Amino acid sequence: MREVAIIGVGMNKWGELWEKSLRDIYVEAALAAIKDAGVDTVDGMYVGAMTPGLFVGQEHIGSLFADYLGIKNLPTTRVESACASGGVALKSAFLEIASGFSDIVIAGGVEKMTDCSGDDATYALATAADQEYEAFHGATFPGLYAMMARRHMHEYGTTQEQLAHVAVKNHKNGSKNPNAQYPFEVTVDGVLNSVMVADPLHILDCSPITDGAACVVMADLETAKKICKKPIVKVLGFGHATDAIALHSRKSLTRLDATILAAERAYKMAGKKPEDIDFAEVHDCFTIAEIMVIEDLGFFEKGKGGTGAESGETHIGGRIPINPSGGLKSKGHPVGATGVAQAIEVTKQLRGEAGDRQIKGAKTALTQNMGGSGGSTVVHIMEVL
């Protein structure tokens, strides 16, 4: 199996992009990635998109994007794994290159979520939950994660203040990210006094509805060394796993087994351990998600994740910086694009291109992207050469 690297990245500013269509958003990010890579041809493309049919009525996006990108007949595949669609697109591109079938492949992600009503967006997102046993009975994702938060509080003493510290930390990071949807800082009191969505989660504990796209260009390592004029970011390994989609079918509400298994597989493939990771981009769709994920990745003992942001350990400059991009919470969460945007932040950090949010001396990083309430997870580990 050939070694694989990321050689180009492209992303637009995320938010409510009323003046741009789904195809405009994607092509903008893809062209930026191609320009950054310095290539004039690619062999294939994978696009993560959760449900463009429900958001904007457009399916068959592989054909659409290849056409509007100006590369007709390009083999292009849409990838879907709910909010982990972008991460699985990255994995798919990796495998195509590693197998020797292609040398240069785009891995992208996109979602246009604000062109429909709030009710329609909620319905579209709820398709990532169990339709018969959760969504039918009115359990939206804030409600599902609220149950996970309450159980975590009950078992481990996690507090609402600790949840709020996650939001404060991620907004502080996002305030330094020019592509973030909400690049402003918040306070613990501001989070705790914001509108309650599903007890104990306030609106500032929740990631937003977002339009946006993100793309990376990947190549086999030999080709990357010939092309790259910037530091090469090698993908050391990945892990992918699923779990029961419905919370009631899981052994515990306070652990994400798909994340645990995906991480174990990624660490094994990469030959790394949690203590070898300098920083991570994780799926903080809700503040409780970040707390549970950093425990399940092995960065914190189970039940101790709530202290991470509160103590400063997960801040830039801390023991294990988490979400230097601002995460889903501040950067935004166009669901199909999130996993690829995580890889972009890692690439920029490892290249030393992250500006005011740069993590000094970072060499090895991890991304964790999950779908729904943790029904699927993909983890990638990357290192700068």
How many angstroms separate the first and last alpha carbons of the chain? 19
Catalytic residue among 165, 240, 315, 333: 333
For residue 56, the surrounding DSSP H or E stretch is helix 52-56
Q: List the one residue out of 301, 194, 318, 177 whose CA is nearest residue 310.
A: 318
Question: pLDDT tens for residues 29-38?
Answer: 999 999 999 9
pLDDT, position 140: 93
Task: Write down all domains in the chain, each with its CATH number in brackets.
Answer: 1-385 (3.40.47.10)
- Peptide bond just before 334 cis, omega within 30 deg: no
Catalytic residue among 83, 206, 215, 228: 83
Q: Which amino acid is at 11?
A: M
> In the chain, where do the E strands start and end?
4-11, 44-48, 76-79, 104-112, 196-198, 201-202, 211-220, 233-242, 279-281, 364-371, 376-384
Cβ count within 10 A of residue 15: 19
d(CA 192, CA 17): 29
pLDDT, position 72: 86
pLDDT, position 321: 98
d(CA 300, CA 254): 14
- Let me know: does 246 contact 147? Beta carbons within 8 Å: no
d(CA 264, CA 279): 17
Q: What is the mean pLDDT of the chain?
A: 97
Strand 44-48, strand 76-79: pairing: parallel
Q: Which two tokens stand for residue 214?
A: 């993100």
Question: pLDDT tens for residues 274-308?
Answer: 999 999 999 999 999 999 999 999 999 999 999 99
| pLDDT value at 312 more than 90 | yes
| pLDDT value at 164 more than 90 | yes
Q: What is the mean pLDDT of residues 147-158?
A: 98
Question: pLDDT tens for residues 99-143?
Answer: 999 999 999 999 999 999 989 999 999 999 999 999 999 999 999
pLDDT, position 385: 95
pLDDT, position 205: 98
Question: pLDDT tens for residues 181-205?
Answer: 999 999 999 999 999 999 999 999 9
Confidence grade of residue 49 (pLDDT, cut at 50, 70, 90): very high
Q: Which amino acid is at 107?
A: A
Q: List the one residue out of 134, 135, 108 whose CA is nearest residue 25.
A: 108
- Let me know: does 284 contact 243? Beta carbons within 8 Å: no
83 is catalytic: yes
- Let me know: does 151 contact 207? Beta carbons within 8 Å: no
Length of the chain: 385
Q: Which two tokens stand for residue 344?
A: 């972009």
Q: What is the mean pLDDT of residues 376-382?
A: 98
| Predicted structure pTM score | 0.97
d(CA 95, CA 230): 23
d(CA 200, CA 286): 11
| pLDDT value at 26 more than 90 | yes
154 is catalytic: no
